[in-house]
Amino acid sequence: MLLALLAGCAQLAPLPEGQFAFGVLGDTPYSEAEVRKLDELIGRLNAQDLAFVVHVGDIGTSATTQGCGDAWLEARARQFAKIRHPFVLLPGDNEWSDCARHGLDPQARLAAWRRIFCRKVAGLERQPGHCENARWQAGGMAFIGLNVPGGGDPDLGGPRMDATLDWLDESLSLAETRNASRIFVFLHADPRFERVGASDSYARLRAVLATHAAWFKDHLVLVHGDTHVHRDDEPLPGLRRIEVWGSPFVSWVRASIAGGTVEVDTGR
């Protein structure tokens, strides 16, 4: 763990000229101190040559109503607008599904999230009726963003999740038709690959991922947040999993692709 934390503090080396790369972060900021650190991080992101940047969700803590308030979300929208690269944000549980803990309506909070963050991004296609689900293409690869919040939200078995998985299926079929060299799926939740049981709300998602991983073999990459510690492993045969840093580590990961190989670097 100490080596991993030290690696998270390292500066990233420049990429070879023309190499494709993108950045991912998540689960931050959770405090005013992290807001200031995120501003510094944005400055470093802007100095990088990146095709785009993705935030996989949780842009406020669930310990209070912070992430459930319009003012905090609107402030984050202004902060993310400082990123010079095309930027994609996904919802986390702290912004909507966990708001029920504070007596707020999760569906109303998701509607507020959509109003604030579902903005036009060049080349980004959004799912009708579920604008937080998105897909785009770059560098001969396919990228898919899904609203799958952490926290074991019971809505993971409902109509919204049906629509999300339909979007995933449709997007993967489209990627195959277009001969995408690699497919990246972004979402917030850790699918809890180590957990087994009928009461596990992520069992359905894992089964879907296992099916697709077997079909696409080593061309499918899952990128998520939720547990706040960076991981890079293969939780299912044929599925590479990359988890990004999260609070209290205000950091990011850079994925670069060259010669068919995905290299992941961490840095602050």
For residue 93 the two structure tokens come to: 């549980």
Contacts of 38 (CB under 8 A, 6+ apart): 28, 29, 79, 250
Cα dihedral sign for 217, 219, 220, 223? positive
Question: Is 265 in a helix, a strand, or coil?
Answer: strand
CB 142 within 8 A of CB 171: yes
CB 21 within 8 A of CB 12: no
Q: What is the pLDDT of residue 29?
A: 98
Which tens digit of pLDDT belongs to each residue from 86-105? 999 999 999 999 999 999 99
* Nearest-angstrom CA–CA distance, 51 and 60: 26
pTM: 0.93
What stretch of H or E contains 207?
helix 203-216
Which tens digit of pLDDT belongs to each residue from 203-216? 889 999 999 999 99
* Nearest-angstrom CA–CA distance, 93 and 96: 6
Which tens digit of pLDDT belongs to each residue from 68-89? 999 999 999 999 999 999 999 9
Residue 121 pLDDT greater than 70, yes or no:
yes
Instruction: Please name the amino acid found at residue 194.
Output: E
* Nearest-angstrom CA–CA distance, 108 and 151: 18
The architecture that CATH gives domain 20-267 is: 4-Layer Sandwich (3.60)
Residue 252 pLDDT greater than 90, yes or no:
yes
Contacts of 119 (CB under 8 A, 6+ apart): none
Which tens digit of pLDDT belongs to each residue from 35-75? 999 999 999 999 999 999 999 999 999 888 999 999 999 99
CB 51 within 8 A of CB 256: no
Which tens digit of pLDDT belongs to each residue from 180-207? 999 999 999 999 998 665 557 898 899 9
Residue with tokens 């396919």: 142
* Nearest-angstrom CA–CA distance, 94 and 100: 10
Q: What is the DSSP letter of 198?
A: T
What stretch of H or E contains 231?
strand 231-236
Arithmetic mean of pLDDT, 239-268:
92
Which tens digit of pLDDT belongs to each residue from 125-168? 999 999 999 999 999 999 999 999 998 765 676 899 999 999 99
Residue 4 pLDDT greater than 80, yes or no:
no
Contacts of 117 (CB under 8 A, 6+ apart): 73, 77, 89, 132
CB 209 within 8 A of CB 223: no
Q: Is the peptide bond before 248 cis (omega within 30 degrees of 0)?
A: yes
Domain ranges of the chain: 20-267
